Every structure is written in C-alpha cells, then in structure tokens.
C-alpha cells in the first residue's frame, strides 16, 4: 500500500472534525514524503488547510454549509505536535460542568509551557502558561473538576454543587479523584472526597 493510501485510510478512520499535522503521520513515512502527500491531497481538494501546518478534511452540513474546525480540535493538534499539555481554563470548566451559565468570551487554554497565540480566521486561540501543580491533572476529569471548583471559589461551593458533580461524573472518574487528591488545594479535599463517594 502506498503512503498516499495509508494516510487516506487513517484519515477516513479518524473521528469527524479531526485536525492534524504532519507529525501525526511520521510513523508511516519521512517528513518530506508525508509533506508531499499532504500537498497533493490539498490540491485535489481532499484536505483543507486550517492554519499554517494544520489540516482537516472538509465537512459540510446540509443547512449550515461548510463547517469550521473546532477550537478544541485545533488546540489538540497543536498539543500533540508540540508536546504540550492542555487544560480547560477555570471559567470554561465551570461552564462545561454546568456550574456556571457564563460562557467565556475568549478562546483560552491553560498549558504547561509558553506558546504563542494562534489566529485562525476570525478566531484567536490563546495558550496561557500555568504552574506545574495546576496542570498536574490536565486531560482528566479530575483536572476539569478542580478547575471548575477553583473558578467558583471555596466560599461558593455548596452541598448542591457537590451532589451535582457526584451525579455528573462516571464512577471511574469519581474514583480517580481520590488518586489525584494530592494535586488539589487543601480546601477542596472534603468536597472531592464527597464527590468520590459511592452513590447509595
């Protein structure tokens, strides 16, 4: 099977909306060879350039027309390529966990090291460097919960908040909270222990 066919096979098997870089195919061929195939696929209209070095497969919706790549997919591609860890910001985590109705106006990701912002069309995706401790649980439900609680602040976390998170999280994610307890500030420990309890 040619490199072109192998790359197309991987693309067809990928989750719709996947954003990728040249580095996602380096197990199949050299940097130059992968780059040549990407250029051919671009010219053939089978790929779309999202930003410099970032690509996806064009997708259309019957009513909305051509769909843009999501900010999460773009950020994930950058993280894989550059070897950085990302975490949803505190305000965004609170919104995702239904702890707040406020939708962040800026597209920002916490990162374990500095990286420049990226302009994609009308969007600017920002990467904010955070401490190693705050990024220790990045990519896990534990990290999302800690970020959401941090956004609320200790004085605003109620028994209703805890009950909501206990119901929302999967059993495996609740158990993982106990493993990650040492990564959280002390004031969160009673709340995280309660969330991790088995529901009766």
**Model pLDDT for residues 11-44, shown as the tens digit of each residue:** 999 998 999 999 999 999 999 999 999 999 999 9
* 76 found inside a domain: no
What sign does the dihedral 163-149-83-3 (CA atoms) show?
positive
CB 39 within 8 A of CB 3: no
123/57 same-domain check: no
* 161 found inside a domain: yes
Give the domain range for residue 166: 84-196
CB 129 within 8 A of CB 112: yes
Measured in degrees and rounded to the nearest 5, phi and psi for residue 180 equal -95, 5
pLDDT digit string, tens, across residues 55-68: 999 888 888 888 88
Report pLDDT for 106. Answer: 87
* 153 found inside a domain: yes
Check which CATH number belongs to the domain holding 33 and give it. 1.10.10.10
What global pTM score does this model have?
0.83
Positions of the chain with pLDDT under 50: none
55/94 same-domain check: no
111/171 same-domain check: yes
Q: Return d(Cα 96, Cα 192) in angstroms, integer.
A: 18
* 133 found inside a domain: yes
108/155 same-domain check: yes
Report pLDDT for 200. Answer: 52
Number of domains in the chain: 2
Report pLDDT for 67. Answer: 84
């Amino acid at each position: 099977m040619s490199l072109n066919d192998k790359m197309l096979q991987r693309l067809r098997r990928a989750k719709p909306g996947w954003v990728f870089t040249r580095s996602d195919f380096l197990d199949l061929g050299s940097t130059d060879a992968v780059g040549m195939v990407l250029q051919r696929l671009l010219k053939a209209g089978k790929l779309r350039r999202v930003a410099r070095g970032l690509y996806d497969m064009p997708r259309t919706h019957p009513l909305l027309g051509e769909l843009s790549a999501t900010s999460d997919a773009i950020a994930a591609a950058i993280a894989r390529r550059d070897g950085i860890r990302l975490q949803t910001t505190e305000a965004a985590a609170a919104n995702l966990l239904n702890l707040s109705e406020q939708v962040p106006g800026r597209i920002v990701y916490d990162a374990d090291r500095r990286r420049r912002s990226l302009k994609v069309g009308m969007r600017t995706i920002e990467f904010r460097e955070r401490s190693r401790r705050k990024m220790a649980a990045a990519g896990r439900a534990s990290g999302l919960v800690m970020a959401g609680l941090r956004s609320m602040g200790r004085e605003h976390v109620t028994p209703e908040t805890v009950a909501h998170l206990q119901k929302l999280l999967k059993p495996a994610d609740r158990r993982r909270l106990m493993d990650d307890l040492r990564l959280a500030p002390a004031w969160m420990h009673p709340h995280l222990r309660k969330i991790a309890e088995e529901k009766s």
